Amino acid sequence: MTNSGVRVRIAPSPTGEPHVGTAYTALFNYLFAKKMGGTFILRIEDTDATRSTPEFEQKVLDALKWCGLEWSEGPDVGGPYGPYRQSDRKDMYRPYVDALLEKGHAFRCFCTPQRLDEMRAAQRAANLPPKYDGHCLNLSAEEVTARVKAGEPHVVRMKIPTSGACTFTDGVYGDVEIPWDAVDMQVLLKADGMPTYHMANVVDDHLMKITHVARGEEWLASVPKHVLLYTYFGWDAPQFIHLPLMRNADKSKLSKRKNPTSISYYSALGFLPEALMNFLGLLFIQISEGEELMTMDQLIANFDPDNLSKSGAIFDLQKLEWLNGRWLREALDEEQFFALVLTWASESDRLREGLKLAQSRVGKLGDLPGLTSFLLSADVGVTGASFAGVKTPPEETLSILETVQVDLDKILEWNKDTIEAELRAIAERMGKKLKVVVPPLFIAMSGSQRSLPLFDSMAILGRAMVRQRLKLAAQAVAITIIKN
Ligand code: GLU
């Protein structure tokens, strides 16, 4: 049933490993659409061309499908309001920017990056919040025309009222008031002709007839810019629903430095999508003890957007583990369990790839579990003692593990060749030979000094698992250092 007119979307930016926060927001929108008899849409927001990649876009689609959150309109399935990828819509935004310029709601800004840096430095020194100072706000029409004609690079910024406040009603936060004083003259069109997130987001939500915008709380402060754009265009704004950020149990912001946040990490570990959806769904609905195990249909039945859970969105790993265990033990019969194990082991081709690597080292088939188990294990049990055989002293081992953990994030496309190239570059930056950097990594990945080829193994394990193993290994070495 999709006839209520309710249209919601998930609008991920494909700039990194798909995050559990994206699954959380997507699930909310999905439940909302199902509950209201509406339509759930997927739009790719890739206006940040330097950070968006096709690989990450594919991963977002795969991850959300793995979660069971199918959309009715999107870049892969099309739909009446396409294209659903902002880079494919680039030319659609320009007339809207021109209309704002014409009506005097926006202005061209010729400030160089250097001037903006100086301006921000001065604001920091004076303890003022960073904000565009209006340098180009009142240039004469003649001057603007001349500078545009001369081909001077520039951006387009929106004008912001100089007094008063923006008021709006949010589905979670209620009545919100944000003074215009706190709102920046947002860039709408970048010098390269690409719209910014704010511009593209508002135009697309309007053109795609989105009725409710449900997204993370971090966007609440952007609402005044969006509301103002809707007003400038004379369009009705959608209803806003800002979801509380997911936090760690200690209330700190969920970040990959603290806990794995990639959906692919949880799928590789053998968490069931049903369990992850069950766990995330419970963050929205009020239930009594004993009712925790819920299918998607039960989540939909219990979902009530007017009565959202107030308990805060804690990403409680123990609870997720508990629910996952219950799903595995209670919700699957034997056949389903077998099928699931095989699907899991074969995910991303890792069983086949692992066996391929192991073939050249195998004496009898019974060696295979020992050779390949680290590719499937949740934990390879690395301790300080695991590093006893490496030649580098613990401090140096630690610095290798930590540097690699941070620098591997620079790889845009994750495969054996890019991993090898980045590790070579890291070794060079650290002034070390590759053969010095590699042994600690072998142990971090496999728990053993003798293992399958490193670069291939890291490619199979995937970015999120590699990051987590490097982190656990670094912790183990750090403990040894402190103890001695
Ligand atoms: N592209 C934004 C993000 O990645 C979407 C925010 C929104 O839903 O408006 O979070």
Q: Per CATH, which fold does 374-483 belong to?
A: Arc Repressor Mutant, subunit A (1.10.10)
Q: What per-residue confidence (pLDDT) applies to 2?
A: 52
> Cα–Cα distance between 261 and 406 in angstroms, integer?
15
Helix axes 463-483, 394-407, angle to 10 degrees: 160
| Secondary structure element (H or E) that encloses residue 241, with its range | strand 239-243
Average pLDDT of 218-233? 97
Domain boundaries, the chain: 7-74+246-329, 88-243, 374-483
DSSP 282-341: TTTS---TT-----HHHHHHH--TTS---S--B--HHHHHHHHHHHHHHS--HHHHHHHH
Other Cβ atoms within 10 Å of 118 Cβ, number:
12
Ligand 1 contact, 154 CB (< 6 A)? no
Q: What per-residue confidence (pLDDT) applies to 396?
A: 95
Tokens of 451: 């293992």
Q: Which one of the listed residues 34, 225, 256, 471 is annotated catalytic?
A: 256
Domains 88-243 and 374-483 belong to one CATH topology: no
pTM of the model: 0.91
Sheet containing strand 155-158, edge to edge, reads 106-109, 155-158, 187-189
Ligand 1 contact, 45 CB (< 6 A)? yes
Cβ neighbours for 456, distance < 8 A, ≥ 6 positions apart? 353, 357, 416
Percent of the chain with pLDDT over 90: 86
Ligand 1 contact, 11 CB (< 6 A)? yes
| Residue 287 binned pLDDT confidence (cut-offs 50, 70, 90) | confident
| Residue 310 binned pLDDT confidence (cut-offs 50, 70, 90) | low
- Say whether 79 sits in a helix, a strand or coil: coil
Closest residue CA from atom 3 of ligand 1: 12
Tokens of 294: 């819920």
> Cα–Cα distance between 423 and 401 in angstroms, integer?
11
Helix axes 334-346, 350-359, angle to 10 degrees: 60
Mean pLDDT score of the chain: 94
pLDDT in tens, 378-396: 989 999 999 998 999 999 9
Q: What count of residues does the chain have?
A: 484
pLDDT in tens, 73-88: 999 999 999 999 999 9
Average pLDDT of 94-104? 97
How many angstroms does the Cα of residue 460 sit away from the middle of ligand 1? 30
With contact defined as beta carbons under 8 Å apart, do 243 and 41 qualify? Answer: no
| Residue 249 binned pLDDT confidence (cut-offs 50, 70, 90) | confident
Average pLDDT of 234-239? 98
Ligand 1 contact, 12 CB (< 6 A)? yes
Q: Options 2.40.50.140, 3.20.20.70, 3.40.50.620, 3.40.50.410; which CATH number does 7-74+246-329 get? A: 3.40.50.620
Q: What per-residue confidence (pLDDT) applies to 424?
A: 97
| Domain 88-243: CATH architecture, name and number where available | 3-Layer(aba) Sandwich (3.40)
Ligand 1 contact, 201 CB (< 6 A)? yes
How many angstroms does the Cα of residue 218 sit away from the middle of ligand 1? 9
With contact defined as beta carbons under 8 Å apart, do 160 and 133 qualify? Answer: no
Q: Is 159 assigned a catalytic role? A: no
> Cα–Cα distance between 330 and 53 in angstroms, integer?
40
Other Cβ atoms within 10 Å of 232 Cβ, number:
18
Adjacent-strand bridge partners of 262: 19
pLDDT in tens, 42-63: 999 999 989 999 999 999 999 9
Q: Is the pLDDT of residue 1 over 60?
A: no
